A and B are shown apart, each in its own frame.
Chain A
Amino acid sequence: MDTRLIEARDVSAGYRERIVWRGANFSFGKGEFVAVIGPNGAGKTTLFRMLLGLQPPQGGSLTVLGEPPKRGNARIGYVPQRHTIDSDTNVECLELVRLGLSGKSWGFNPFSHDDRDAACAALKGVDALELAHRPLGVLSGGELQRIFLAEALVSDPDILLLDEPLSNLDLKRETDLLHLVNGVVRKRGVTALLIAHNINPLLPHLDKVMYIANGKVATGKPSEVLTSESLTALYGVQVEVLRDPHGNVAIIGVEEHHGDMV
């Protein structure tokens, strides 16, 4: 694939006093599904904040859709990491999804049918049309993630950034959500970056994987990155990558769950 939506050349990330990772080179094309994996504090969310234009790179050149990242880029859909939504929030899901489209517009126009139709279409796209009139506060974790996904997709973005959408989901819901995201990526040709802790449930869907650890970044096809050599080079300690007959990987030498060092 030739159209490079995201391109990084020798990029450093973090703050001036504290660089979290440096020397990263990667590029992602249209319709690629990328997992971003790494321990807590490695700088995964920092990557998203840079792509969103909320934080500048500390070095190197980073382009998003051919230009430097800018805040409020309408062609990026974003699902931030969230822990809670107040259970008292008695606002229907449709309203939040609609705001994903028209929340930037000043003025008062609560009856726009175009907005409403677009929001319903976005909800339908994530199999959540039946949740349209449910209040946000009573949704389960998996339902909420689908609503947030619809909110991000309603403006028809080219790039989708998902920050730990799988946390707080059980194994079944995790699989369901990944199938859904994968379907969206394939059908719309959107480039999706998804931050996660565990690579295994993602492996059947991924085009690329990005490992961030130890102040460094390794990016490539899963078969290239998920090798003993490449992860040993990344972490700086001896790491073994083992595979089972189903294609699952076990990474020995690094505590797999959080990717922390042991």
Chain B
Amino acid sequence: MTLCPTTAFSPNVLSDLQNISCYEFMRTAYEAGTMIAIIAGITGYFVVLRRSAFVAHAFSEIGFAGASGAILLDSAYFPPIAGLLLGSILGGLAIAVLGRRAANRDTQIGIILAFALGLGLLFISLYKAFATAAISILFGEIVGISPGEVTLTFEASALIIVVMAFLYRPLLFASLDEDVAEAKGMPMVFLGTAFMLVVAVAVSFAVQVTGVLLIFSLMVTPAAAAQYVSRRPSRSIAFSVAVAVVATWVGLFVAFYTPYPVSFFITAINFSLYIAVRLVRRGLKAKPIERASVKQVPRAPTVPT
């Protein structure tokens, strides 16, 4: 094993990158982080389009209960990612069974996620030796991801990309125009279930980067920024992926040279990009476009006099 040179930051970014890449844990963090950013950017676009952000958050919190339960049982046999997947997939199935409108039931989802978070807290407090485990699940711990987890992340990400490419047009149709898609004979229950499961899996892996509580920074913020950049879904998705990947790369880079956590930087970079996009779009817009889509226009009397 080669010894890595100095870790001090230098203005030469290239030598910094060389320095970082010398460390195995940073290489794996970059590999896993990139894949996760890609799937978060893709699925996030549909999460934002379908207004399912709150559901995505609930998945991550149900996943927290699962992950802390797994740690409590025995993390050798039940790695946290297994608990995360189990919890969020169960949540995904429940929402899918209840139908798409269930995804907008804020109150019920809020009740479930509060309970799941409480359950996770109980499991963590029962497992006294590892208080740091709670912090890493809640706020992310991509640096230190094991090689086995990296492989799993790659496999799951590849699967999600394939599934999303397959679902792309019907899912877009069902998201934009549910009634017509249904009348056209689209399998709405299948689409809803498949998408919820994809989100559940994507959330479980994204939690490794951002943690349970900061899941929105990868699943929502890049996609929300992307919606302002292009009106074409395929371009928006590409931009969403780009934002998520750049934020992850830069976040890992900065965190390496500072004592502060990666997830903070990823959150901050995504937030800044979102604000920048909104400001630029506002600047470009010559004049506000009329918004009259749902105005109630008084009807003229129908009986002639």
Contact = CB atoms under 8 A, between A and B. Distances in A.
A26 B297 CA distance: 34
B176 interface: yes
B231 A103 contact: no
Interface stretch (B90-98, B117-125, B180-188): B180-188
Interface residues of A, number: 60
B295 interface: yes
Contacts of A19: none
Given A90-B231, A92-B232, A83 B169 contact: no
Q: Among B166, B186, B233, B303, which residue has the most Cβ atoms of chain A within 10 A?
A: B303
B139 to A, nearest CB: 29
A126 B167 CA distance: 30
A138 B293 CA distance: 7
A80 interface: yes
A84 B165 contact: no
A248 interface: yes
Contacts of A73: 185
A92 B180 CA distance: 17
A188 interface: no
Which of the listed residues B180, B184, B293 has the most CB atoms from chain A within 10 Å of its own CB?
A: B293
A252 to B, nearest CB: 9
Given A95-B231, A139-B293, A108 B165 contact: yes
B293 A137 contact: yes
Contact of A90 (B172, B182, B227): B227
Interface in A192-217: 198, 200
A138 B304 contact: no
Contact of B231 (A70, A91, A107, A110): A91
Given A80-B180, A85-B293, A138-B291, A72 B304 contact: no
Contact of B292 (A99, A103, A141): A141
B15 interface: no
Nearest to B298: A170
Contacts of B180: 78-80, 100, 151-152
A103 B165 contact: no
A223 interface: no
Contacts of B304: 200, 244, 246, 248, 250
Contact of A138 (B174, B182, B184, B289): B289
Contact of B302 (A74, A84, A135, A200): A200
Given A80-B180, A99-B172, A99-B173, 12 more contacts: A54-B182, A95-B231, A103-B184, A104-B170, A104-B173, A105-B170, A107-B166, A108-B165, A108-B166, A108-B168, A151-B180, A168-B297
